[in-house]
Amino acid sequence: MRILMTSYEFPPIGGGGAAVVAGLSRELAAIGHQVDLVTMSFRGEPREEQVEGVRVYRVPCVRKAKHSCSAPEAFSYVAGAMPTIHRLLGTRRYDVGHAHFILPDGLLAWQARRYFGLPYVITAHGSDVPGYNPHRLRTAHHLVRPVWKAVVQGASRIVCPSEILEQLVLAQRPSARKTVVIPNGLQVGEYRPRTLGPSILMVSRMLERKGAQYLLEAIAHTPLRADVNIVGDGPYLPELRQMAEALQSPAIFRGWMDNRSPELREIYQASGIFVLPSEAENFPIVLLEAMAAGLAIVTTAGTGCAEVVGDAGLLVPVRDARALAVALKRLVDDPVLRQSLGAAARRRIEENFTWRAVASRYVEEYERVAAGGPGRKPAAARTGRVQPTVRGEAELVGAGDTLGMAMRAALTKPPVEAS
């Protein structure tokens, strides 16, 4: 298959979503598919390069931080990516487009389908779906609703990594035939299980819904004989630091770390218990990393977290610091249970969430879409032998301006999360 993939987040920028894009694209290339990936430029990163078999095109845009992307920055990426995508579609033939994130990247895929007939698949990652993070993004999603619906309507498939996210997508009433659940994956061979000590680790973007405040409350109410490390950065971090100081918490804030860095890998290897007390998740990569490292896991019931760990971890209610404290104390005090849950977590990821298994599911969807994607144009229009007319180019720019202005106006204040 020849795949044109877009994602505003790709290492070294972004969070869990970036790790998904990197892992899937590398695996697709490894099993013989051609992947051209368009993403944001960042500081000194090469504009064009081969990354483990994937051709990466970084487009001109504005972005200040690795771990977060504001709405104006996301809009600058859309504007910068359009000429590159126009050039690639004019000179190369692709079987399918694959956009990660309904917005902003779905807008690029929508343009490619409308003007070049390229059918597309979208992977939803969480905050790009209405209802996933309502206390921060309800107004933004309401304002961009016409754009969001147009992008979803134009897609041949919407891939949801969890059943919870699929239900949120279906609540917006697209065709039920559009959605499919394909979990995220991980390269598990990079991690080595071992005997687990009682050290506690949380790795997350620091947002209120991620629940680090409940971890701080838990260890304040029930002192534990264990080190507590919190890795990550984000807008909620200053408040968490103040809370930790007020509670005289022993937790150590490690700041942001690249999820492929040796430093983060060492922290995983030195830990025995992983905690993610999040209120809402799609299919968090950090849980897969913890499972691959063979850690005993405590996370929340009724969220995408529960779908990831299954029965290979302890589940607590959301926003319940006392239940979290009980679960953590149980694991700190019981080395046999720690080791048992860690081994179960490792088995679960090996059996269900390797990138080879996940990539094969995506290829099945690509083949279905390429064989009968709605609104397909003749192949000549996708190979460059038939170019858009001058009027067509003007319409492309006009449509981009109209939809882009709507997205920019809607998302001026709320940031786009690195999920």
pLDDT in tens, 350-384: 999 999 999 999 999 999 999 984 444 444 344 44
Does 389 score more than 50 pLDDT? no
Question: Cis peptide before 134, with omega less than 30 degrees from 0?
Answer: no
Cβ contact 76:64 at 8 Å: no
Is residue 134 over pLDDT 70?
Answer: no
Both tokens of 262, joined, read 């040796």
Among residues of the chain, what percentage have pLDDT more than 90?
69
Question: Exposed e or buried b for every residue in 19-32, given b needs 16+ CB within 10 A?
Answer: bbbbbbbbbbbeee
Is residue 6 scored above 90 in pLDDT?
yes
Tell me what the mean pLDDT of segment 330-347 comes to: 96
Task: Find the helix or strand (DSSP H, E) in which 402 lies.
Answer: helix 390-410
pLDDT band of 136, cuts 50, 70, 90: low
pTM of the model: 0.78
Q: What is the average per-residue pLDDT within 291-302?
A: 95
| Residue of 95, 83, 78, 77 lying closest to 36 (CA atoms) | 95
Calculate mean pLDDT across residues 101-120: 96
Q: Please work out, in degrees rounded to the nearest 5, the angle formed at the alpha carbon of residue 270 by the alpha carbons of 264 and 275.
A: 75
CATH number of 2-185+355-410: 3.40.50.2000
Q: How far apart are the first and last CA of the chain?
A: 28
Average pLDDT across the chain, whole number: 87
What number of helices (H) and strands (E) belong to the chain?
16, 14
CATH 3.40.50.2000 occupies which residues in the chain? 2-185+355-410, 189-352
Query: 290 or 417: whose pLDDT is higher?
Result: 290
pLDDT at 176 over 70: no
* Residue 144: predicted pLDDT: 80
pLDDT at 393 over 90: no
Q: Is the pLDDT of residue 310 over 70?
A: yes
Q: Which two tokens stand for residue 97?
A: 């487009």
For residue 13, give both structure tokens: 């920028």
The strand ranges marked E within 28-160 are 34-40, 48-51, 54-59, 96-100, 120-123, 157-160
126 band by pLDDT with thresholds 50, 70 and 90: confident
State yes or no: pLDDT of 233 exceeds 70: yes
pLDDT at residue 381 in the model: 42
Given 3.40.50.2000, 3.30.460.80, 2.70.70.10, 1.10.10.60, which CATH number is that of 189-352?
Answer: 3.40.50.2000
Query: Which of 313, 308, 407, 386 has the alpha carbon at shortest distance from 116?
Result: 386
Using a 10 angstrom Cβ sphere, with 0-12 exposed, 13-18 middle and 19 or more buried, the burial of residue 161 is buried
What pLDDT, in 10s, does the model give residues 31-83? 999 999 999 999 989 999 999 999 999 999 999 988 888 889 999 999 999 99
Min mean pLDDT across 108-122, 128-142, 174-188 is at 128-142
Helix (H) or strand (E) holding 146, with range, is: helix 145-154
223, pLDDT greater than 70 = yes
